[in-house]
Amino acid sequence: MTAKKTAIQGIKLVDFPEEIDEQNGIKVYGETSWENQLAVLSHYLHNNGRIGDEEYKKELIYTIREFLERKKENKNEEITDEYVTKVAENPTEYNLFSDFFNVPFLDPEKPKFTFIDLFAGMGGFRLAMQAQGGKCVFSSEWNKYAQKTYLANFGEMPFGDITKNVTKSYIPEKFDVLCAGFPCQPFSIAGVSKKKSLGRETGFKDKTQGTLFFDVADIISRHRPKAFFLENVKNLMSHDKGNTFKVIKGTLEELRYSLHYLVMDGQSYVPQHRERIMIVGFDRDIFHGEEQFAFPEQKQKTKSIKDILDPNIEEKYTLSDKLWNYLQNYAEKHRAKGNGFGFGLVSLNGISRTLSARYYKDGSEILIPQSDGKNPRRLSPRECARLMGYPDEYRLNQVSDVQAYRQCGNSVVVPLITAVSEQLIKTMLAN
């Protein structure tokens, strides 16, 4: 392995390897992406300068140098090793990192607990947990556009692919709650019986290897949080004739966590029919299965579509004659065949269908009727964010409308997650 790139350790130059050796957990500072460097720096800043091992410190020094090089106005100005070291030791004394804190949703000043945010997306889980007094100590999201949105709102760049050991190495040893709206990947049941104690050739690894759920289970196994909160699509329970959920449930119970799960509909909180399964777990080694947890009561809808609409909307959101005619013809063709496929023209006093990540294509599942003979229109990205329960101070303009639509369609319903989080945290702190 060659060594060409250099980083700063104190005032001394230290050589680092050029290639990435993920199996051995080697981080390559000169070759990592700027996004990863921002993740290192922003996590450091938001965790009051608390960092882990010596390798992390080396990477931080390198990252700060890169940041200062990009930030400087005079390109001929020399950034000395001594200056970089001083900045790294007392970053809050320098007015260099204000952009990381001039954001709408900062961590609470006196947190009651800590959590990590996996598959973070737009940060719906983070908003919910911060509302309970929680401090996020690690976030991960692989999509670069979602990373930009997350950074603009929380001042923290999420780390990337959580399936990589290098990414997992940034997770703090201890934290209280793990949050993850993990994607549902199909996997088969190997039918392997439970083997050795966890940490070796375990049953859950045999049954879930190669899926994103395995990475969640792996992190739970390694770090033993007091509790976790997982969210997924309703169909997770029926997928593969119920076998997928059987494996997930068995895996989490094998890790010595007591489970509470329920399918809940977002329409109790936002004007949208959106059913998702909520899975909450508590460490049996701490709570002994005696925690007094209950999901919040599911109420009837309290809001209508008209409550999230802007009175003055740009013309670009109105469907063209060509698209509107196509959608009507498509719906009529399927109606003649007895199928239910078609567009969703909503009642302003009612609720919408489930917003999907494909909404940017034509907006067909949620169309807003307009007066004066105008064609229906799609929701704007801001209206989509409201439909998911995001407050208006949430920043969306870091990405295009297409990416904003995708992020909203993949998001969680924030007030629903907040209501469940409130019950989870009350239970955890009470015990």
136 noted as active-site residue:
no
Which positions ≥6 away from 13 have C-beta within 8 Å? 6, 7, 81
Q: Which residues contact 223 (CB under 8 A, 6 or more apart)?
A: 171, 173, 174, 175, 178
Tokens, residue 151? 């950074």
Cα–Cα distances in angstroms (integers) from residue 241 to residues 121, 126, 183, 235, in the given order: 29, 33, 18, 10
Q: Closest by alpha carbon to 33, among 193, 161, 189?
A: 161
Q: In the β-sheet with 134-139, what is the strand arrangement from edge to edge?
A: 134-139, 113-118, 177-180, 227-233, 275-283, 257-265
Handedness of CA 28, 210, 150, 406 (dihedral sign): positive
Q: Which two tokens stand for residue 302?
A: 């309290």
Q: Is the dihedral of CA 16, 54, 164, 200 positive or negative?
A: positive
Q: Which of 136, 179, 184, 408 is catalytic?
A: 184
Catalytic residue list: 184
